[in-house]
Amino acid sequence: MVGTLYVCSTPIGNLDDITLRALRVLREVDFIVGEDARRTRKLLAHHDIHTPFAPSLYQGAEGGRTKRVLSLLRQGRSVALVSDAGTPLLSDPGYPLVRACVAEGIPVVPIPGPSALLAALVASGLPMDRFLFLGHLPRQAGPRRKALAALRMVPHTVVFYESPHRIRATLALLAELHGPRPTVVARELTKIHEEFVRGTAAEVHREFAHREQIRGEFVVLLGPAPSAAAARLAEEADTVYDGGLGPGLPPQEALSGDGGEEHPPPTPGEPLGV
């Protein structure tokens, strides 16, 4: 029998942000693989876990070392895949291993948990019913400008990761290309110096332009493009309106979206429906 690959989320900062299931899996598997053994061992030591760490899947060595992990799985060994922080594969190594396991019929089990992407989204105050995740932007200035310029008409919240070395330059581009657009920068999520800076793209850029030192890990969120968002809402309203008029409903009933159905008041003491 083949083994099982567990894709295991780990803390993005605070070492206590880990699920009971993740701790159990990390203790019970035969091997743990990830990016950097040094960072993972700090987490394992904090929770008194002594599972062996197999070859690191850092960038540049991932292809060759994936074969070694597959060999372990074929022998019936269980393996937990982790990243340095958060959920594996989200701008982190691991995709070639998961893809190979799926191709060979080796079970892949997700162990959900922390993610900088979701942590930033839920506290940003920006719409998150639909969002576009870009991972890391290109390092070169030209491609980075092109990537940000392409977001002018995106009607959803946009999320990407940025390094402390490029955050000023990236915010300058955002201010130039998307000046009045709502923007949030989340820094050092779940850590002691966690911070959210909110405002327009121009305002957030000015805030960081005046800082002497910029440290930490950053998640940048850009609100929906105003014109595109308005167009999307108008399109959705037209769909509801046209759909309501189809059966021959009067315009006021079509706009209500309830098909003209009357709803009697609840009986006293009767719970309201949700």
Taking only the tens place, the pLDDT of each residue in 61-108 is 677 788 889 999 999 999 999 998 999 998 888 899 999 999 999 999
Task: With beta carbons less than 8 A apart as the criterion, state whether 159 and 133 touch.
Answer: yes
Domain boundaries, the chain: 5-114, 117-224, 227-256
Task: With beta carbons less than 8 A apart as the criterion, state whether 190 and 13 touch.
Answer: yes
Partner residues linked to 136 by β-bridges: 161
In whole angstroms, give the CA distance from residue 155 to residue 224.
5
CATH number belonging to domain 5-114:
3.40.1010.10
Question: What does the pLDDT read at residue 271?
Answer: 42
Cα radius of gyration (the chain): 24
Give residue 273's identity as a one-letter amino acid code: G
Name the residue with higher pLDDT: 273 or 168: 168
Q: What are the DSSP E strand ranges found in 44-176?
A: 79-81, 108-111, 131-136, 157-162
User: At residue 20, does pLDDT exceed 80?
Assistant: yes
> Interior CA angle at 130 toward 147 and 167, to 5°?
40
| Residue matched to tokens 């982190």 | 92
- Considering the chain, what is the average pLDDT of its residues? 86
User: At residue 263, does pLDDT exceed 70?
Assistant: no
Question: What does the pLDDT read at residue 229?
Answer: 54
Identify the band that residue 8 occupies on the pLDDT scale cut at 50, 70 and 90: very high
Question: What does the pLDDT read at residue 269?
Answer: 46
pLDDT tens digit string along 204-255?
A: 999 999 998 899 999 999 999 987 555 555 566 556 545 555 555 554 554 4
User: At residue 273, does pLDDT exceed 50?
Assistant: no
User: At residue 184, does pLDDT exceed 60?
Assistant: yes
User: At residue 6, does pLDDT exceed 90?
Assistant: yes
In whole angstroms, give the CA distance from residue 154 to residue 173.
17
**What number of other Cβ atoms are within 10 A of residue 144's Cβ?**
18
Architecture of domain 117-224: 2-Layer Sandwich (3.30)
| pTM for the full predicted model | 0.79
In whole angstroms, give the CA distance from residue 257 to residue 211.
50
Taking alpha carbons only, the member of 118, 65, 63 closest to residue 90 is 118
Question: What does the pLDDT read at residue 5?
Answer: 97
Q: Are strands 157-162 and 131-136 parallel, antiparallel or unpaired?
A: parallel
User: At residue 267, does pLDDT exceed 80?
Assistant: no
Name the residue with higher pLDDT: 258 or 161: 161
Cβ partners under 8 Å of residue 258, min gap 6: none
